[in-house]
Amino acid sequence: MTLEETETTNRQRRHLTELAIQQATRREWESAVRTNRELLELGGDTDGYNRLGKALAELGRHVEALEAYEGALSRDATNQIARRNVERLRVIASGEVNAGDGKQARSAAAHFIEEMGKTGHARLINLPPAKQLAPLSPGDSVELTLDGSHLLARVGGIEIGHVEPRVGARLAKLMKSGNRYEAAITTVDRTEVRVFIHEAFAHPTNFGMVSFPASAGARVGDVRPYIKGTALRYDGDEEETEENEEESEEVEELDTTLPEFTAEPDLEEELLEEP
């Protein structure tokens, strides 16, 4: 291949990659399948296989999606997106779970726009068996309902766990006095589910009460708002002391001192990722 031919091929690859990402953003999955397959005809590409797998899975074509993710793993055995999805799709392919048509209700993109004090991340606890989590994917809409002093998460009427107490106890109190929240899955695999939560309505009786307060002295794992430019994660110790739990249950006023964050979320990885 001459230098000119190589440059032409590289331009085609860049164009098709950008087009495939745009189509995924617009949820044009049939078009995304065609574009990624055209891209892969120009040569093996790990991200291209991952995008193809994502589009096929969204269309409910799980066997083809599994083949695409396996293609990504064959080129990069350490690729975590492909690995997680191969595990998930093998559970579905085994027939242990009814995957439906692969089209769970999805949250509007506007729900993922960060807003200080009104949006945040949380882990789910008391998860169901892995086979019940297998059909779920990032972006699936989550219904939050009160379960006593806890916050129960459901997808399509199926319980998928409780919001961790340090977030759930606070939101449950605010919900009892009229607040409403919307949520969506951001991460899901066999052992972990995380959700993005958005305050949809603040009742007048909760005036001045903030759903996701910040604290200058916050420890790793404390509840923090979803700050612009930050994909907040909870990577600290899972164990919480009784003192911490008591503090988390109090509905406090907003602390205006916010921690600094600099990390930028990887848009393409969010588009590629299936749990």
The full set of domains in the chain, from first to last, is 3-93 (1.25.40.10), 109-272 (3.30.70.2330)
162-173: average pLDDT = 94
Contacts of 227 (CB under 8 A, 6+ apart): 114, 116, 258, 259, 261
The pLDDT value given to residue 272: 58
Q: Give the closest residue to 185 by CA, choosing from 200, 172, 175, 195.
A: 195
Average pLDDT over residues 57-82: 90
Q: Is the pLDDT of residue 263 over 80?
A: no
Please state the rounded mean pLDDT for residues 155-181.
Answer: 93
Is it the case that residue 251 has pLDDT exceeding 50?
no
pLDDT of 125-138, one tens digit each? Answer: 999 988 788 888 88
Residue range 191-219, pLDDT digits in tens: 899 999 999 999 999 998 999 987 433 44
Rounded to the nearest integer, the mean pLDDT of the chain is 77
Share of the chain above pLDDT 90, in %: 39
At 106 the pLDDT is 59
**Residues above pLDDT 70, as percent of the chain:** 71
Q: What is residue 178's predicted lDDT score, i.e. its pLDDT?
A: 94
For residue 215, give Cα distances in angstroms to 10, 218, 231, 233, 255: 48, 5, 18, 16, 6
29-68 pLDDT tens trace: 999 999 999 999 998 789 999 999 989 988 889 899 999 9
